[in-house]
Structure 1
Amino acid sequence: MYYTAKLTKEKDGGYSVSFPDLDGCFTQGDTLEEALAMANEAMELTLEDVFDGDPLPECKTKANEKKGLYRIDVDPELAIALQVAAARGKVPQATVAREMGMTKQAYQRLEDPKANLSVKMLKRIAESMGKRLEVQFV
């Protein structure tokens, strides 16, 4: 999972960063390396804060470094947590927890990027939501 950041070299030095596919996600950096690091941090904070259970926006903008468009990968643990929450959608966590035979608090931990979920648990989560699990290496 990734999003494309647009880096623009500023006249007075440094770079401004925006994400064409993530509304409201902006940052900056003094150097290209700093701007890319800040882009990663801003993207992940935006994803954690804004898309809790909402559908994740599709990345439609293709990376092309010659045009200032850089691919920024989402940390895999965060990507899994976001995708679990997005799969749940607007169904309350308590409902999914009940379907899985666990407490709401136990289920909430499954949507935490630090959860370190097994494939078996991911499959169980998917089944409780009437979905199926697909895994890809890209």
Structure 2
Amino acid sequence: MKLVYPAIFTPYEDGSGGYAVEFPDLPGCVTGGDDMAEAIFMAEDAASGWVLTELEEGKKAPKASEFGSINTEPGQFVNLVALDMDAYAEKYGSKAVKKTLTIPAWLNTYVEENNISCSAVLQETLSKMAQSSMQ
């Protein structure tokens, strides 16, 4: 599942070139970086972790606000941050739920002969379905 959220970047007051980053759609999700590249990397990581926690608790990922609807103060700016939730969950996700699956015997033979992981196929397909339903 791919998601995009607007983030508010605020330059550090000390003039060091760093930025604080907050997400209006993800309450309490705040991070920062010593330069723009680090701030963007940290924003992606923080937002992905926030959304993954929601998903693992059985909640839906919040809808993203329209880019133009985000209010900023002088010196702040809004940038979009892209999240690849499948890659993040694969690397950091800790919760898995076991599901029982029933398929016809002939299809099971095909699966076994071709070393296909039903779990992987189901996860990939359901992830694509979830992504398309959020758009």
Under a length normalisation based on structure 1, what TM-score does the superposition of the two structures give? 0.56
Query: Which residue of structure 2 lines up, in the alignment, with residue 7 of structure 1?
Result: 9
Q: Is the 8 A contact 1:21 1:61 kept in 2?
A: no
Flag the structure with larger Rg.
2
Aligned twin of 1:50: 54
Gaps of 5+ in 1: 82-92, 103-115, 127-131
How far apart, in 2, do the equivalents of 1:2 and 1:79 lie? Answer: 14
- Which whole-Å CA distance do the structure 2 matches of 1:50 and 1:3 have between them? 15
1:47 aligns to what SS in structure 2? helix
Higher RCO (CA-CA < 8 Å; seq separation 6+): 2
Q: Which residue of 2 aligns with 1:133?
A: 129
Judged with a 3 Å threshold, the aligned counterparts in structure 2 of structure 1 residues 121 and 16 are, in CA distance, closer, same or farther, namely closer
Work out which of the residue numbers 77, 85, 95 in structure 2 matches 1:68.
Answer: 77
Displacement of 1:40 after TM fit?
0.6
What is the Cα deviation at residue 122 of structure 1?
4.6
Structure 2 counterpart SS, 1:58: coil
Three-state SS of the structure 2 residue aligned to 1:74 is strand
**Cα-Cα RMSD:** 3.7
Task: Name the counterpart of 2:64.
Answer: 59
What is the rounded CA distance, in whole Å, between the counterparts of 2:130 and 2:61 in structure 1? 17
Unpaired runs of at least 5, structure 2: 91-96, 104-118
Q: TM-score, normalised by structure 2?
A: 0.58
Segments ≥4 residues shifted beyond 2 Å: 78-81, 120-123, 132-136
State the Cα distance separating 1:49 from its structure 2 match. Answer: 2.0
Shift of 1:55: 1.5
Match of residue 41 from structure 2: 37
Count matched residues.
102
Quote the offset at 1:4 in angstroms.
1.3
Q: 1:17 to 1:134 in 2, by over 3 A?
A: closer
Query: Given that residues 10 and 76 in structure 2 are in contact (C-alpha distance below 8 angstroms), is that contact kept between their aligned partners in structure 1?
Result: no
Where does 1:116-127 land on structure 2 (aligned, <5 Å)? Answer: 117-118=120-121, 122-123=124-125
The answer on whether the counterparts of 1:25 and 1:46 sit within 8 Å (CA) in structure 2 is: yes
Q: Deviations over 1:30-49 (max 9, x none)?
A: 11111111101111111122
* TM-aligned CA deviation for residue 72 of structure 1: 1.0
Moved more, 25-34 or 47-56: 47-56
